[in-house]
């Protein structure tokens, strides 16, 4: 495996500290703006990667709908499913209307499906972070989710680079190892248990379970991002943060974990 990049570790530390400040120090509307920006930039990055592969997408309306989803979640405090139904209906309707204006509709289903997939994958999935923030003890819940997922990211990176010898799925991400995967899982479980004070209503057995599930989903999100980038033939989704890449690279560990954590909180707490 490759050697450790201290620039990457330093950048990750700066990002975590910055997000921690946004969660606890700045007003709630700043948190909302940051979430919307992450979704907007991440969606734009995904569209740009697809354009490099000459895949047509309904870029501008797609970006508009993608931004609307987290805005609606924030304005309704995450409790109005009707707003999600409305935007999904409107997006499908408008994408078909736009497709009607094209002379060549040979790939119409692909074009509409890809655009809609990007909205769901980036915007809808990440909007659950906003929904979690509006729950009781929301700031601590978001901080807990962030720490569990990002510690798993960092654990997988450090352990994988120091001890990794067995490739995990080399055809998708040749630099990820089985040792790194297990190390990341251990870090996520450990941080989940150590972060018990942030989520006092969650029992110890659930903290262990959540550490395992959220850690696994964080790494799954990283792998899906690697698959997408490999298919689009790019190294990073963008270059926002030195050593870490773009908005999608920063948020990939939250894409699958945030909705599952939200569902756990709604069903079991």
pLDDT per residue as tens digits for the range 188-242: 999 999 999 999 999 999 999 999 999 999 999 999 998 998 888 888 787 777 6
Per-residue confidence band for 1, with pLDDT thresholds at 50, 70 and 90 = very low
Cβ distance 80 to 91 under 8 Å?
Answer: no
Angle, alpha carbons 39-40-45 (nearest 5°): 95
Q: Is the dihedral of CA 186, 20, 68, 38 positive or negative?
A: negative
Q: What is the mean pLDDT of the chain?
A: 89
Nearest in space to 184 (alpha carbons), one of 210, 158, 166, 223: 158
Instruction: Give the residue extent of every domain in the chain.
Output: 6-268
Question: SS3 for 175?
Answer: strand
Which token pair is 33? Answer: 């703006």
What does the pLDDT look like over 161-177, one tens digit per residue? Answer: 888 778 888 888 888 88
Residue 30 clears pLDDT 50, i.e. is over it = yes
What pLDDT, on the 0 to 100 scale, is given for residue 5?
A: 61
CB 241, CB 11: distance < 8 Å: yes
């Amino acid at each position: 495996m490759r050697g450790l990049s201290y620039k990457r570790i330093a950048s990750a530390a700066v990002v975590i500290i910055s997000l921690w400040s946004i969660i606890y120090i700045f007003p709630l509307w700043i948190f909302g703006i940051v979430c919307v920006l992450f979704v907007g930039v991440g969606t734009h990055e995904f569209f740009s990667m697809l354009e490099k592969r000459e895949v047509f997408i309904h870029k501008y309306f797609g970006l508009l709908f993608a931004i609307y989803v987290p805005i609606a979640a924030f304005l309704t405090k995450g409790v109005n499913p009707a707003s999600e139904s409305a935007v999904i209906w409107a997006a499908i309707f408008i994408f078909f209307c736009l497709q009607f204006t094209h002379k060549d509709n040979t790939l119409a289903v692909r074009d509409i499906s890809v655009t809609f997939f990007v909205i769901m994958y980036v915007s809808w999935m990440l909007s659950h972070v906003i929904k979690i923030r509006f729950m009781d003890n929301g700031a601590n819940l978001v901080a807990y989710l962030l720490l569990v997922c990002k510690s798993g990211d960092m654990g997988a990176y450090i352990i994988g680079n120091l001890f990794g010898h067995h490739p995990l799925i080399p055809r998708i991400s040749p630099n990820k190892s089985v040792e790194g995967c297990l190390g990341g899982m251990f870090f996520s479980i450990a941080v989940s248990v150590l972060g018990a004070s942030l989520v006092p209503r969650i029992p110890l057995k659930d903290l262990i379970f959540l550490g395992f599930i959220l850690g696994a989903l964080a790494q799954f999100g990283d792998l899906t991002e690697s698959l997408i980038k490999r298919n689009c033939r790019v190294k990073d989704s963008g270059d926002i943060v030195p050593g870490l890449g773009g908005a999608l690279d920063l948020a990939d560990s939250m894409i699958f974990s945030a909705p599952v954590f939200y569902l756990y909180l709604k069903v079991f707490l």
